């Protein structure tokens, strides 16, 4: 079939179907009714089906074929709107796509709130989200598999990356409700040192984790993996407060009053120095900083 129909005919088809009137559409479009009727007839000829039942003195009624094609026509018009929106965004210098990599222990509520706001501010932007264990976020940026990263500060950062502090998250000392330390009102370093300690790993990363107090240590590369071990009574740990407050962990952990807790984790925005951030990435960073402060 040689397709000759155009978008104007498709718009008129949808309008007539919705208003059930050739004359009403003609008035809205400032066209002669005959021009609207002719455009629909040409569309029917190109598609090879009758779209409307036409009876003298009656409103146009969709045929079975018309009803089947109406949804497709609406989708064609929506896709055109997306195309125009994407082209306008590119003309303004906005990114067509934003690949965001973040540490899996990043506070999820600020992330979700920021992404929801991003979708409203940049509706044509394509977003790809990757959640990784510590160390992988910077690697994705270096390998150009991500445009923007959210991670916790550590000293050993590649010179190819730029970074900016956005805020911080509090660390707390915790154990499982059935752990021997759970009944203590306050614990000191000696008491903590008598029990297995769960620490973030490994030494090849200078990821913030606190010092080793116990001679017996288990390590994991994820705060959530540490939380799962901790809930089974396998040790005590320093965890970000938002991890401890995760709904699945409610009433299963006890926060311990301790004489020492690691400093807060500094959340950083990271990107490649040779690939400057676009307006959507800058905007997302500002929104995340606001939402991160809100939970603090």
Q: How far apart are CA 265 and CA 257, in angstroms?
A: 19
pLDDT tens digit sequence for 179-237: 999 999 899 999 999 999 999 875 444 455 568 888 999 998 888 889 999 999 999 99
19, 27 in Cβ contact below 8 A?
A: no
Pull the structure tokens for residue 225.
């993996």
CA angle 178, 183, 186 (to 5 degrees): 130
Do 147 and 73 fall into the same domain?
no
Residue 279, in any domain of the structure? yes
Q: Which of 134-138, 170-174, 263-267 has the highest mean pLDDT?
A: 170-174
- Angle, helices 22-29/7-19, rounded to nearest 10 degrees: 130
Do 85 and 101 fall into the same domain?
no
Going by their DSSP bridges, the two strands 253-256 and 236-240 should be labelled as unpaired
Do 259 and 114 fall into the same domain?
no
Q: What is the pLDDT of residue 91?
A: 66
Do 210 and 135 fall into the same domain?
no
The single-letter DSSP state of residue 264 is P
Among the listed residues 117, 120, 123, the one whose alpha carbon sits nearest the alpha carbon of residue 78: 123
CATH number at residue 143: 3.40.190.10
Residue 47, in any domain of the structure? yes
- Give the confidence band of 260 by pLDDT, cuts at 50, 70, 90: confident
Residue 2, in any domain of the structure? no
Length of the chain equals: 296
Q: What is the pLDDT of residue 2?
A: 59
Do 142 and 33 fall into the same domain?
no
Q: How far apart are CA 30 and CA 25, in angstroms?
A: 8
Find the domain containing 125 and state its range: 97-166+266-295
Do 196 and 83 fall into the same domain?
no
* Residue ending a domain, choose from 70, 91, 112: 91
pLDDT at 14 over 70: yes
* Residue ending a domain, choose from 54, 70, 91: 91
Chain Cα centroid distance, residue 216: 38
Do 274 and 151 fall into the same domain?
yes
What mean pLDDT is predicted for residues 36-56? 87
Do 216 and 244 fall into the same domain?
yes
Do 158 and 226 fall into the same domain?
no
What mean pLDDT is predicted for residues 87-111? 80
Pull the structure tokens for residue 8.
């104007």
Do 182 and 238 fall into the same domain?
yes
Its pTM stands at 0.61
CA torsion sign, 182 to 185 to 187 to 193? negative
CATH number at residue 82: 1.10.10.10
* Residue ending a domain, choose from 91, 110, 142: 91
Chain Cα centroid distance, residue 265: 21
CA distances to 18, 192, 292, 296 from 249, rounded to whole Å, are 51, 22, 21, 19
Residue 29, in any domain of the structure? yes
CA distances to 15, 37, 93 from 24, rounded to whole Å, are 9, 12, 40
Do 198 and 252 fall into the same domain?
yes
Residue 1, in any domain of the structure? no
Residue 134, in any domain of the structure? yes
What mean pLDDT is predicted for residues 255-272? 88
Do 162 and 175 fall into the same domain?
no
What mean pLDDT is predicted for residues 231-249? 92
Instruction: Give phi and psi for 146, each to the nearest 5.
Output: -150, 150
Number of domains the chain is built from:
3
Q: What is the pLDDT of residue 3?
A: 65
């Amino acid at each position: 079939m040689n397709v000759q129909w155009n978008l104007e005919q498709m718009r008129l088809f949808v309008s007539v179907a919705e208003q059930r009137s050739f004359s009403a559409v003609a008035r809205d479009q400032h066209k002669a009714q005959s021009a609207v009727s002719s455009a629909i007839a040409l569309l029917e000829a190109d598609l090879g089906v009758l779209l409307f039942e036409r009876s003298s003195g009656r409103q146009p009624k969709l045929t079975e074929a018309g009803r089947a094609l109406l949804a497709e026509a609406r989708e064609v018009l929506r896709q055109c709107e997306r195309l125009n929106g994407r082209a306008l965004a590119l003309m303004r210098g906005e990114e067509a796509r934003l690949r965001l990599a973040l540490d899996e222990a990043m506070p999820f509520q600020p992330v979700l709130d920021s992404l929801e706001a991003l979708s409203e501010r940049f509706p044509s932007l394509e977003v790809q989200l990757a959640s990784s264990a510590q160390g992988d976020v910077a690697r994705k940026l270096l390998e150009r598999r991500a445009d923007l990263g959210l991670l916790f500060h550590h000293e050993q950062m590649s010179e190819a990356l730029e970074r900016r502090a956005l805020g911080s998250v509090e660390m707390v000392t915790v154990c499982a409700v059935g752990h021997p330390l759970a009944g203590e009102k306050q614990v000191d370093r000696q008491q903590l040192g008598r029990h297995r300690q769960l620490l973030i790993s490994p030494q090849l990363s200078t990821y913030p984790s606190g010092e080793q107090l116990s001679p017996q240590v288990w390590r994991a590369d994820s705060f959530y993996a540490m939380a799962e071990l901790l809930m089974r009574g396998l040790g005590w740990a320093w965890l970000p407060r938002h991890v401890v407050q995760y709904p699945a962990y409610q009433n299963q952990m006890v926060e311990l009053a301790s004489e020492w807790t690691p400093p807060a984790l500094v959340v950083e925005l990271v990107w490649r120095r040779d690939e400057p951030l676009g307006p959507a990435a800058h905007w997302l960073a500002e929104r995340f900083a606001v939402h991160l402060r809100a939970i603090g």
